[in-house]
Amino acid sequence: MTQACDIAIVGAGMAGASLAAALEGRARVVLIESEEAPGYHATGRSAAFWTESYGGPGVQPLTSASGPALRDLGMLSARAALTIGRSGQEREVADFARKFADLGVVVELLDHARLADHIPGLRGEWTLGAFEPSCCDIDVAALHQHYLVAARKAGAHVRCRAGLRAARREGGGWRLDLADGSALSCEVLVNAAGAWADPVAGIAGVRPVGITPFRRTVAQLEVAPAAPADLPLVLDVSEKFYFKPERGRLWLSPHDETPSPPCDAAPEEMDVALAIDRLEQVVDWSVRRVEHRWAGLRSFAPDRLPVYGFDPAEPRFFWCAGQGGFGIQTAPAGADLAARLLLGEPAGAVDPAPYDPARFA
Beta bridge partners of 177: 166, 183
| Best CA proximity match to 239, nearest among 93, 30, 70, 49 | 93
**Mean pLDDT across 45-65:** 93
Task: Given CATH 3.30.9.10, say whether it is the number of domain 79-136+212-300.
Answer: yes
CB atoms within 10 A of CB 284: 10
Looking at residue 132, its pLDDT comes to 98
CB atoms within 10 A of CB 360: 17
**Topology of domain 3-44+140-210+303-360, CATH:** FAD/NAD(P)-binding domain (3.50.50)
DSSP 195: G
How many Å apart are CA 6 and CA 172, to the nearest integer?
Answer: 11
Averaged pLDDT score across all residues of the chain: 96
Which residues in 242-360 belong to E strands, given as ranges? 242-246, 249-253, 258-259, 286-300, 307-311, 314-321
Per DSSP bridges, beta strands 258-259 and 157-159 are unpaired
Domains 3-44+140-210+303-360 and 79-136+212-300 share a fold: no
**Mean pLDDT across 278-302:** 97
53: left (phi over 0), alpha (psi -120 to 50) or beta: alpha
**Mean pLDDT across 255-279:** 97
How many Å apart are CA 254 and CA 232, to the nearest integer?
Answer: 17
51: left (phi over 0), alpha (psi -120 to 50) or beta: beta
pLDDT tens per residue across span 156-214: 999 999 999 999 999 899 999 999 999 999 999 999 999 999 999 999 999 999 999 99
| Best CA proximity match to 308, nearest among 98, 3, 62 | 62
Looking at residue 179, its pLDDT comes to 95
24: confidence class by pLDDT, cuts 50, 70, 90: very high
pLDDT tens per residue across span 91-137: 999 999 999 999 999 999 999 999 999 999 999 999 999 999 999 99
Looking at residue 1, its pLDDT comes to 63
Alpha-carbon distances, residue 95 vs 81, 240, 243 (angstroms): 16, 18, 22
Q: Assess whether pLDDT exceeds 90 at residue 361.
A: no
pTM of the model: 0.96
Collapsing DSSP to helix, strand or coil, 350 comes out as coil
**Mean pLDDT across 138-157:** 96
Looking at residue 40, its pLDDT comes to 78
How many Å apart are CA 98 and CA 86, to the nearest integer?
Answer: 18
Show me where the domains of the chain are located: 3-44+140-210+303-360, 79-136+212-300
